[in-house]
Amino acid sequence: MAVIIDGKKISQEIRSELKIEIEELKNKTGSVPGLATILVGDNPASQSYVASKLKYSEELGMKSVLEKKDISISESELLDLIYKYNEDPAFHGILVQLPLPKHISEDKVIEAINPAKDVDGFHPVSLGNLVIGKDTFYPCTPYGIQELILRYKIETKGKHTVVAGRSNIVGKPIANMMFQKKEGANSIVTVCHSAAKDLSEYTRTADILIAAIGSPKFIKEDMVKEGVVVIDVGINRIDDPSAKKGYRNVGDVDFENVEKKASYITPVPGGVGLMTVAMLMKNSVKAFKRINNI
C-alpha cells in the first residue's frame, strides 16, 4: 500500500515556518510582505481561491489587499491598476486571478506585472529563468509539487519522470523544473499529452508520474508500473448524489486502484491543491526579501 503524501500537513508546516520568518522580518525591517490580489468578475472557483489566499496571508501577518473589479472593466483600466501596484512600495507581490474575461489579454496582463513582484511565477522573465536554471519565482503549483517531493525525501536523481499534460500553469514548468541539476530534480523527463496515440505507453515507464490532464480518474491501475510515485494535480468535479453538495472533487488518477501499485501517492483533495497557496505565500516572502536586499 502506498504512502499517502499529505499536502495538508506539509502546507501547514510551511505556513508555520513562514509565520516565524515574517515576524523576524518585521522586527528587522519594521515592515511585512504585502500582497495585492486583483479579481475580475464573479467566477465562483476564483472567488473561493482568492478568499483562501487572503485568509492565509492575514494569518501569517502579511499586508493583504483585494481589488475586486466588475467583469466590464476595460483592459487599459486593469493595466493601470497593475502599474499602480508596481509602483507601490508597500506591496511586494501582485497576483491577478485567472481566468480573465475574453476582452482582456491574459498575456498583456501577465507581462504588465513587474517581474520583481511576479509571485505567481507566470511572467516570461520568471519562466525564462526557470528554463535556464536560475533562481526565480516558480509557478505555485509546480513549486508545491517539488516541495512535496523534497519533504518526503523521494529520490529523483536519474529517475524517469513522466508529466502527463503540457499546460503553461503546470505541465511545462514542472517538466522544466524536474530536469534541472539540483536536489528534488535531476531526473530524465518525458512530457506526454493528448496527441499521443496511447498515453499508457509513456505512463507505464514512469518512476514518477505527474498527472495534470484535467480528466477525472483518467490514469488507471494498468497504466502505471509497480512502485511508481504518483503526483495527482487534477481537480475535477463529478456528480455524487450521496454528497451534501451533490458533487465531489476527484483527481486525474483513479486513486483507489492506482494506490495499490504506487509507492507514494497524493490524494485529491488533500494533496497538491493545498500546496499552491502555501507556495504563493513563500514566493511573497521571497519577493519582500529580494526587494529589501535581505
Active-site residue (options: 6, 53, 172, 254): 53
Unique residue bearing C-alpha cell 516558480: 138
**283 in any annotated domain:** no
**212 in any annotated domain:** yes
* Length in residues, the chain: 294
Residues 94 and 152 in one domain: no
Can you give the pLDDT at residue 248?
Answer: 80
CATH number at residue 60: 3.40.50.10860
φ/ψ of residue 202, rounded to 5:
-90, -45
- Say if residue 288's pLDDT is above 80: yes
**155 in any annotated domain:** yes
Range of the domain at 48: 30-114
Q: How far is CA 241 from CA 214, 238, 247, 267, in A?
A: 22, 10, 7, 21
Residues 109 and 148 in one domain: no
Active-site residue (options: 6, 118, 120, 252): 120
Residues 109 and 145 in one domain: no
- Say if residue 262's pLDDT is above 80: yes
Active-site residue (options: 6, 97, 180, 232): 97
Residues 146 and 63 in one domain: no
**215 in any annotated domain:** yes
88 is catalytic: no
Mean pLDDT of 114-135: 97
- Say if residue 120's pLDDT is above 90: yes
The SS3 assignment for 155 reads: coil
Confidence class for position 116, pLDDT limits 50, 70, 90? very high
pLDDT, one tens digit per residue, over 198-245 is 999 999 999 999 999 999 999 999 999 999 999 999 988 877 777 777
Residues 53 and 171 in one domain: no
Confidence class for position 51, pLDDT limits 50, 70, 90? confident
Can you give the pLDDT at residue 1?
Answer: 81
**280 in any annotated domain:** no
Can you give the pLDDT at residue 247?
Answer: 77
**15 in any annotated domain:** no
Domain count, the chain: 2
97 is catalytic: yes
Are the C-beta atoms of residues 54 and 66 closer than 8 Å to each other?
yes
pTM for the full model? Answer: 0.94
Residues 147 and 90 in one domain: no
CATH number at residue 146: 3.40.50.720
**What's the one-letter identity of residue 119?**
V
Residues 156 and 223 in one domain: yes
Residues 149 and 266 in one domain: yes
120 is catalytic: yes
Residues 98 and 180 in one domain: no
